[in-house]
Structure 1
């Protein structure tokens, strides 16, 4: 290999390694360690290529520079791609890193002329001294259910068990000696509220063992022997479990908002059913409450549970009012062959008649997914329907990508990397959160040779 070619290969290799480091949320200094490993392997496998491997620069400064260049390349690609969007929407969310700096993420969801969907990080900004609105389910926790005191008690106990290594080992041994079917409790610090569902459920299952263990540590938990507190805890367990199941259905990339709207509507109908059943003292869909009602029939209040459910329904109705405002447009998108042409927007009426009269397209509608179906529409003959579909497809239905983004952020800016600058953090996050875009390493290699 000629000298120029070797240099190009060395530079390209440094870009490839830098991208892998960013994707894996590793420290920039990992590059130097990786190079040491590479050289050791090379000495054994291909000693004649040792100098070639030595030419690959993987120092911390080089990795920092490469990561910034990769991120800038992705930014340039995204700017170019957004010009082809027929429609787009933004998802905005905020969370704090481990230095209490609020980081604002902005994702863009765009639809191209062929109705293909892309989702990418548009920007991330450090909001020093500034905060924004909170996630809907965090708000539900604070303004509806009014049970934060129960959550706090449970989390303090779990963290006491897990945060201290000795206590945790003793706890595992304690469970082993007692023959408990559970070997541990799930750990939770300060992640999103709905992720607490499993912790709450496990805590309830282990409540007797936990009470004995805490007593052995001189920390009496009077709450676990208080019927009123336990009944409230049961309500919280069951409701958070239902919310967690809903949340799981709303997660995932490139979901169509009309389908998410259907999921929300189904949950609201479930709330109506649950309220009616609970008022009849029927707890069939609330198993933890059912067990507490059997243990403390004089204490457990179905009326209180019904009230909580009523508050929850009111909160959902209020927070998802935007879905209702868009329902007419959603119905046209999801059910174009059965929608009432007379009540449809006038600019769509002629094309809807043509569509509903086309037996071939009607047959294809039965077999294709909703987003794929609209790609079958003739662009020249039904431009308004395609544009309407593009606008609906462009809508974010949740902040799922933001949630993923903040998980990656916490992996990168942890207690061991608290001095990571915002610029370097943002460069890493852009690479690690890239969805469909990939850095053009060949172009970058040509620039750097």
Structure 2
């Protein structure tokens, strides 16, 4: 080749190299975008508490939308892996990353407190939930879910202490910076000698911690105890009898709903109240107070005595209890939102 031919050949090779590099860069960016997309979907699946197999269903929906909107981009959507194993792996990686971030933040805490609650799931296995609230030197507060420990054996104060201690040590949190502990008030938690609080205080003495550990009682359980001292059982029992007369019986329920429709009321039905769902009490009281006239009319048409429901003193007590439970329900929902989270 002469000089000119050599220069042309060099330019041709350069263009071929740049073309291959551009193709590789494009493929790499597409691969990174596909992985990022799979992480985004896996996070939403975890937050929604859906089965990991839902990833495949979501991908099928995405492909159908792609075929209708942008069929030329179908391959990009096909590159997003959302199989059950992939979603499980992504969720595990997200969990590990969040834990690493929390460990990093924990090193900057100047003080932290723990909240511990033990309950039994549907398979009769005790689950110990541990939450942490820490503050750094800049007064930035971090509130996170620290750990969930399954307890297949006993749930004594010693067992609870061992799980909490193991969780604190794994996170590298110093005992001397622990200033508060909130429990649900159960004997295994608050026992003076062998409860969780007593054993953590003993551990802090062994670590030569000079500060005093402040133990708190769960505010929701405090409300439950205070509620028993209000002497308002007669109000709730009367309302419960009225609701149970209307809701469980199919004919009465249908007729009551028809009556509300004829009167064009704001609400079309009454909710149930159960002791397990503590938020239902406030909802039932509020609805019954707003439909008190309609309830009395319906019960009177069935020959039931409504003297107590029309009593002025009873209505005042019912209104008071309705307002109190409404405020407490709002507070409890705010507290629950602070401690949740697959969330």
Residues 195 and 244 of structure 1 are in contact (CA less than 8 Å); yes or no, is this contact kept in structure 2?
A: no
User: Cα offset for 1:83?
Assistant: 1.0
Q: How much does 1:193 deviate? A: 3.9
Partner residue of 2:256?
Answer: 171
Superposition deviation, residue 87 in structure 1: 1.1
Aligned to 2:89: 65
Asked if residue 116 in structure 1 is aligned to residue 144 in structure 2, the reply is no
For 1:46, which of 70, 78, 96 is the aligned residue? 70
Alpha-carbon deviation of 1:11?
Answer: 2.5
Greater Rg, structure 1 or structure 2?
2
C-alpha distance 96-186 of structure 1, shift in aligned 2 (>3 A):
farther
**Superposition RMSD in Å:** 4.0
**Shift in CA distance, 32/108, structure 1 to aligned 2, threshold 3 Å:** same
Tell me if structure 1 keeps the 8 A contact 2:38–2:87: yes
| Cα distance, 1:93–1:166 mapped onto 2, change above 3 Å | farther
Q: Is the 8 A contact 2:296 2:309 kept in 1?
A: no
Residues 1:404 and 2:314 are matched in the alignment: no
The Cα shift of 1:200 comes to 0.9
Q: Report the secondary structure of 2:131's partner residue.
A: strand
The 8 Å contact of residues 155 and 189 in structure 1, kept in 2 or not, is answered as: no
**Structure 1 partner of 2:105:** 81
Query: How many residue pairs align between the two structures?
Result: 257
- 2:269 matched residue in structure 1: 184
Question: Which structure has more strand as a fraction of its residues?
Answer: 2
* 2:226 matches 1:140: yes
User: Does the C-alpha gap of structure 1 residues 24 and 88 become closer, same or farther in structure 2, counting only changes over 3 Å?
Assistant: same
Distance 1:69 1:164 in 2: 51
> What's the CA shift for 1:182?
4.0
Residue correspondence of structure 1 range 191-270 to structure 2 within 5 A? 193=278, 196-211=281-296, 213=298, 224-226=306-308, 231=313, 234-235=316-317, 237-239=319-321, 241-242=323-324, 244-245=326-327, 248=330, 252=334
Structure 1 SS opposite 2:286: helix
1:10-48: CA deviation from partner (whole Å, max 9, x where unpaired): 222211101012223434332222111110111123323
Alpha-carbon offset, residue 153 of structure 1 = 5.7
Normalised to the residue count of structure 2, the TM-score between the two structures is 0.59
1:120-150 CA-partner distances (Å, limit 9, x unpaired): 11123345675953621122223x1354565
Unaligned runs of 5+ in 2: 1-22, 157-183, 186-217
Change (3 A) 1:167 1:70: farther
What runs of 5+ residues in structure 1 fail to find an aligned partner? 253-399, 409-428, 433-449
How far apart in 1 are the matches of 2:96 and 2:248?
40
CA separation in 1, counterparts of 2:71 and 2:299? 60
Q: How does 1:399-438 map to 2 (within 5 A)?
A: 400=335, 403-404=336-337, 429=341, 431-432=342-343
